Chains A and B, each alone.
Chain A
Amino acid sequence: MSSAYMDNNATTRVDPRVLETILPYFSEYYGNPSSMHSFGGDVGKRLEEARASVQALLGVEHDSEIIFTSCGTESDNTAILSALAIQPSRREIITSVVEHPAILSLCDHLERHEGYKVHYIPVDRLGRISMEAYAAALSEQVAIVSMMYANNETGTIFPVETMARMAKEKGALFHTDAVQAVGKIVLNMQESAIDMLSLSGHKLHAPKGIGALYVRRGTRYRPMLRGGHQERGRRAGTENTTGIIALGLAADMALEHMEYENTVVRALRDRLEAGILAQVPYAFANGDPEHRLPNTSSISFEYIEGEAILMLLSRVGIAASSGSACTSGSLEPSHVLRAMDIPYTAAHGTIRFSLSRETTEAEVDWVIAQTPPIVEQLRRLSPYWGANGPILTDNAFAPVYA
């Protein structure tokens, strides 16, 4: 049976070259890079090479601006907590309503338990940030602005450079969660106004459990983890040597494939989206068509529910994800779709297809062939769907409680 992995925004496969490279660092060169003996082999040197590779991918001026962490979430938390710690007199934070929980949960905590005022900037129907609301929220009271580079569910890209420059005018620090953007968008931090940037290894074919935080030289910083001297005392804890070496190689490969991502992968994504929408009525793509990651397609199928779609897709070997409530155990569709005001008829039936450089044309065609009949099958089961399409409008189905 054919199969298709279309869930690369959730995580990617570790590139076989990356895996092969790191295996000896589990079995032979397992020494601690801080030790004086030689069981560490050349591991200390390899860590610095990896740092240089990440430096190149981000277009960073100094390699000491890269701090290795355990994941994107740790990078996000470290950045915000550091910014607050160094500016005790500034008691406000600005973020967006569509951030990853790594940011939103922390902001919610800081608001409720630490007395910070948090401005949540809304988005429009296409997921575009309201620049008016952002400008209005900025002030000398703001310690840090944290805005995602690109949204994980819809792929919508925020104008973070412009926003960072606006923050600078008010003396606020600017952090971006670029977990979905790194490796898909050309970055040049040397020319940027962004102060801090988070990335995660497993979104670009490195293993899970490795991330990095870029901190611009000259930005005051307070570590979240204290202990050892590792990462120049900015992130204590024995280095995840295999993870760091893997991330370095993955960064090299991401840089090599940057053009491929933006041409071939983008064309495959467009083909997938157009192929499905041409066959399925009452379906539409979400996000900002002008500014969108090249690999992401979020499609809403009206009058059916996402988890049911995913189960049927999974049965024909297709891996995707949904913004639906039922996959997460909550009762509401994802906060991103709700923030975009996607109608309830569609939000519950939204599926995210996310491609990578490993995605093939055959996989895309398999998804195009399999998806329409699955949607049709579920609509036949739905009380909101009649022989001639939706029957919601004429009140034919109005349950006891709503």
Chain B
Amino acid sequence: MWDYTDKVKDYFFNPKNTGVLEDANAVGEVGSISCGDALRLMLKVDPDTDVILDARFQTFGCGSAIASSSALTELIKGKTLDEALKITNQDIAEFLGGLPPEKMHCSVMGAEALHAAIANYRGEDWADDHEEGALVCKCFAIDSALIEKVARENHLSTVEEITFYTKAGGGCQSCHEQIEDILAAVNGSAPLPVVAAKPAAKAAPAPMTMVQKIQKISAVIDEMRPQFQMDGGNIELVDVDGDTVMVAMSGSCMNCQSSGITISGIQERLMLTLGRPVRVVPASMPQAVGA
């Protein structure tokens, strides 16, 4: 059995806000019965103030899916739609005292249902940015889609590189064989795409402009740079694409066994500063002339 927190168990055994909300004016539905989990989120929004007066859910899924749905309804009640949109899947997981890595997708489903419901209320189209891939690294919850993407974009060929770039395989190491298989498939087959596809724009407006965001990210990295220099290395911001922050590490940082941990440290700092989830991905610097 999973090692669920007491709060997850409590929200599963005694879920709050279940059932149909008869006078709902915002409904978000995500998932499917074939995927093994599905959620219908129903909201009653005050048209004058945009405040969520009531929220209920119906969920088909495992214990943590039901608990996450219930937690979501508790988190959003009384908030305005704009306030609610700031809630991320991490907030749902945190509210529950954490979820096992394999179960984080339950909190993602909750956040998606919320975005879908708000889009429904505002008459917008909602496109999910659901990345489906088999879970490979159970220690760090990294799926095959991300490993494949990073391997392709950065021309990676060894498990060690994958671990440096994504953390996958850096824990118990039992997934190394699966990572090798992904690398073999990536390097043995399709040619690398010339232009990387841009992800679809989010339906919800970002609370800060791109320039503001990049400035904030730069500041955090500048702030952390002395630590890297102390260890004989350096770090540079390469690019920001949506919630993906690409950084280049140089010097001894690059070969350091703990670079995966360093990356997650930067990621945590950035999430704290920006107040939203970001993913930090190592990338290579554009080739320096005469290096």
Contact = CB atoms under 8 A, between A and B. Distances in A.
Interface of A: 112, 303-308, 310-312, 314-315, 324-327, 329-333, 344-345, 348, 380-384, 392, 397-402
B200 to A, nearest CB: 13
A401 B30 contact: yes
Interface centre among B33, B40, B102, B134 (most CB of A within 10 A): B33
B62 A382 contact: no
Nearest to B126: A400
B30 A400 contact: yes
Interface string B6-40: 00010011010011000000001111111111111
A73 to B, nearest CB: 16
A399 B34 CA distance: 12
Contact of A383 (B59, B128, B134): B59
Given A308-B12, A382-B58, A382-B59, A331 B134 contact: yes
Contacts of A398: 29
Contacts of A402: 32, 34-35
Contact of B58 (A306, A314, A330, A383): A383
A383 B38 contact: yes
Given A384-B38, A399-B32, A326 B15 contact: no
A344 B66 CA distance: 19
Nearest to A379: B60
Contacts, number: 106
A384 B33 contact: yes
Nearest to B8: A311
A344 B19 CA distance: 23
B198 interface: no
Contacts of B12: 308, 311
Contact of A303 (B18, B35, B60): B60
A401 B128 contact: yes
Given A383-B38, A399-B38, A326 B32 contact: no
B146 interface: no
Interface centre among A315, A326, A384 (most CB of B within 10 A): A326
A402 B33 CA distance: 8
B36 A392 contact: no
Contacts of B36: 305, 324-326, 331-333, 348
9 tightest A-B contacts by CB?
Answer: A326-B62, A307-B62, A329-B102, A383-B58, A399-B29, A402-B32, A344-B34, A383-B40, A382-B60
Contacts of A384: 33, 38, 60
B233 interface: no
Nearest to B39: A383
B13 A315 contact: yes
A306 B61 CA distance: 8
Contacts of B116: 400
A344 B32 CA distance: 10
B41 to A, nearest CB: 10
B108 to A, nearest CB: 12
B288 interface: no
B30 A397 contact: no
B138 interface: yes
Interface centre among B2, B36, B38, B132 (most CB of A within 10 A): B36
Contact of B59 (A310, A312, A314, A381): A381
B87 interface: no
Contacts of A399: 29-32, 38-40
B135 interface: yes
A311 B63 contact: yes
Contact of B18 (A314, A330, A332, A381): A381
A315 B63 CA distance: 12
Given A315-B13, A329-B135, A397-B40, A381 B66 contact: yes
Contacts of A345: 33
Contact of A324 (B1, B15, B62, B138): B62
B35 to A, nearest CB: 7
Contacts of A383: 29, 38-40, 58-60
16 contacts: A303-B60, A305-B65, A325-B36, A327-B1, A331-B35, A331-B134, A332-B36, A344-B34, A348-B33, A380-B19, A381-B66, A383-B29, A392-B33, A397-B40, A400-B29, A400-B126
Interface string B47-73: 000000000001111110110000000
Contacts of A312: 13
Interface centre among A307, A333, A380 (most CB of B within 10 A): A307
Nearest to B115: A400
A307 B32 contact: no
